[in-house]
Amino acid sequence: MVKNLKEYLPILGLFISVIVGFSAIFIWGQNSTESKLVLIYEQKILELKSQNQKDVEDVKKAYDQEIAKLNDRLEQYIKAKPPVRVPVADIFVSGHFADGLQIASDAPNEKQGWVTRLEDSIHIAYPGGADWGVWFISVGAPTPRKENRSSMDVSMYSMLSLELKGEAGSKVAIALKDTEDPDDGSESRRYLTLRSSDWETYKVDLKNFETADLKNLYVVTSFVFAKQPQTIFVRKIQFE
């Protein structure tokens, strides 16, 4: 029996070798197939990423082209159509004040009667003798209480236009105040030098009134005086 088994050992060994070999070949083939699939999937992912990137670039390029066309059309439209002008805001014209405005004068010596309303203008004859005096136009009734002040928005305008006359060479101080400005004379002022004793139009850039919030203007125009007497006439005040 043992002798017979020994005779079959070579055959058995060969059979086992064949089985092991086939198993190894199968495992290798399986691993090789999986590796190939992984490579294929990775390649597909790279292709999809590349395609997506190209699609994004194509969309961005098309978007930029459309924006460029719209900007070009807008530029042509602006050139073809004249700019829209903001209507002038009348404060005082031909003897009349705009609705909702009030006038007042003040000085520490409490002198009165130095402002006279004429048919088509205002005659200001400041008597002097005090450190300061002011004649002003406010939105609503003038009040020292900031929370009670009314205002108007003139931020769409760029200039304050005034028609004045007085002694040639004299200087006139102009000021604006918003609802938050204190009554201590700290608001911005701009000085005009009268060119002649005849009616002249003077314009002041609103940017020069640095302390005034143009969206909440409370005193729309004021004339500020010092110790010396001064006489001026006012026929027109406008924002433009």
**Tell me: the pLDDT tens digits for 134-193?**
999 999 999 999 999 999 999 999 999 999 999 999 999 999 999 999 999 999 999 999
Q: Is the per-residue pLDDT at 2 higher than 60?
A: no
Class of domain 89-239: mainly beta
Mean pLDDT is highest, among 34-48, 55-69, 108-122, 201-215, for: 201-215
pLDDT tens digits, one per residue of 77-91: 767 765 555 567 999
pLDDT at 160: 97
Could you tell me what percentage of the chain is helix, strand and coil, using 3-state DSSP and rounding each to the nearest 5? 35, 30, 30
pLDDT at 126 > cutoff 70: yes
What is the spatial distance between Cα 192 and Cα 202, in angstroms, rounded to a whole number? 8
